[in-house]
Structure 1
Amino acid sequence: MAVSGKSTPRQRYRDQVRGEIKQAALEQIRTGGAPALSLNAVAKQLGVTGPALYKYFKNRDDLLTELICDAYDDAASAMRRAAVRVADGSPRERLHALGTAYRQWAVDAPHLYQLLAGTPSPSYQAPAETVERARAVLGPFLPVLGGGHCPPAAEELRAQMRRWLDETPAVVEWVSSNMPDADADADPDPATALAGTIIVWARLHGIVSLEVQGQFSGMGHRVATLVDAELGALADSMGMAGKG
């Protein structure tokens, strides 16, 4: 009988094989992108038959989902580490540190970033668990931006975020886990935090997607300078204090 809390040799072997399958799949994605992922090619690389892989993953989409979840978890860890490093900094310093960490993670692992940012296959439907993990990546932005003031141009976005909160308990739980002191009638305001987080995510996503695709090649700017400019503009518009 297995000791409670400890994995059995069989489970450890299964976990090892699953890890090897995922590593082989990531190498395919690194080389040719998510559309290049083939279970038969993975099986051939590992020296097993195609049907043998179905003992570990139900199908290609099941494997893709695990890879996507792992990538989100890795990105979320990078964001949490950045948040801890600058926990005592000013709001602007924290915003810049988080934005820089988001970009650095993507630049260091462009194949993972594109796996999250793109469409793995025309028929792939991401399950709900990937949504929760995606929110974990953006969670550290919420307390930083929630203390700012919503700029006039984003007031309608803030109103939509307020309705989203009113209608979606899962979003309330997500915000509360990152902003335990949030108050709809005072700062930090959860609707402002959500509006700011969507804005910063959209800006960073636009820059980082262009960068990892090589679209800035031949241009005269440093991408880090562009990131700083966008984050600084957002901080200015939200009245965030401090250096950055």
Structure 2
Amino acid sequence: MVEKGATSPRERYRAQVRAEIKQHAWEQIASAGASALSLNAIAKQMGMSGPALYRYFANRDELITELIRDAYRSLADTVRAASTLQADLGVLAHALRRWALEDPQRYFLIYGTPVPGYHAPDDITLISGEIMSVLLRACAAATPDRPATSFDEHLESHRHWADESVPTAVMHKALSFWTRCHGVLSLELAGHFTGMGFDPGKLFEAELQDLLAR
């Protein structure tokens, strides 16, 4: 995917080369994992010298940041589009699953094992916050009044990640929804259900229906 904003021939060429570098990076990640990502190996694949490639990405972390940013932005756009069609937890859950199944390596880059020694910049947190904001809005319409739990009380003093107007019960619902959906997805994409004979999609749906019933 060529980067937006490239207008002049030189900018378009640079955007095309960066897109090709990222494609090779995804292929490396698929075969050896993000921690093994090598700019020198990508340069060799592209017939470039290491210093030439560094004109496009200064180091490994800058390339990883770009890949993570692209992944989060893709998911943020996906859940926002789903919520525009219907602000419903079921719709969001299935949009998340389709997105994850479409490209498991992209999913694992942002929700799998952290890359050793890598620290994401603040703008990545802001994009992931967009996803949670969509989820919180959907949960607000699906969370009945109920007695507070001990975890609700804990959340009261750990709610900096949500707007002050969001009820604690809604935050709890969003966290339960997010962790249970990701729990099934992570196990499915990692192949842990292989050979067990059941359809992971039906397990995902059962977990979702249980969440909605609560």
TM-score interval (norm. to shorter): 0.7 to 0.9
- Displacement of 1:21: 1.0
**Which string of whole-angstrom CA distances, capped at 9 and with x for unpartnered residues, describes residues 66-113 of structure 1?**
1001001111122122222224xxxxxx21111111111111110001
Q: Which of 64-73 and 74-83 deviates more?
A: 74-83
Of residues 188, 203, 206, the one that matches 1:226 is 203
1:149 paired residue number: 144
- TM-score (structure 2 length as normaliser): 0.87
| Residue 2 (structure 2) pairs with residue 8 (structure 1) | no
**Which string of whole-angstrom CA distances, capped at 9 and with x for unpartnered residues, describes residues 192-225 of structure 1?**
2222111111101111110111000111321121
- Structure 1 unaligned blocks of 5 or more: 88-93, 176-183, 238-244
Aligned counterparts, 1:66-81, within 5 A? 66-81=66-81
Closer/same/farther in 2, CA of residues 151 and 61 from structure 1, 3 Å limit: farther
1:84 paired residue number: 84
For the 8 Å contact 1:82–1:98, the answer to whether it is kept is yes
**Greater length-normalized contact order (CA 8 Å, ≥ 6 residues apart):** 1
- Structure 2 unaligned blocks of 5 or more: none
Of residues 113, 118, 138, the one that matches 1:119 is 113
2:133 paired residue number: 139
For the 8 Å contact 1:72–1:116, the answer to whether it is kept is yes
1:59 paired residue number: 59
Structure 2 CA distance for aligned equivalents of residues 40 and 162 of structure 1 = 48
1:104 paired residue number: 98
Aligned counterparts, 1:197-236, within 5 A? 197-236=174-213
Q: When the two structures are aligned, how many residues end up with a matched partner?
A: 209
Structure 2 CA distance for aligned equivalents of residues 205 and 151 of structure 1 = 25
CA RMSD of the aligned region, Å?
2.2
Closer/same/farther in 2, CA of residues 150 and 160 from structure 1, 3 Å limit: farther
Counterpart residue identity of residue 10, structure 1: R
Counterpart residue identity of residue 116, structure 1: I
For the 8 Å contact 1:164–1:171, the answer to whether it is kept is no
For the 8 Å contact 1:145–1:192, the answer to whether it is kept is no
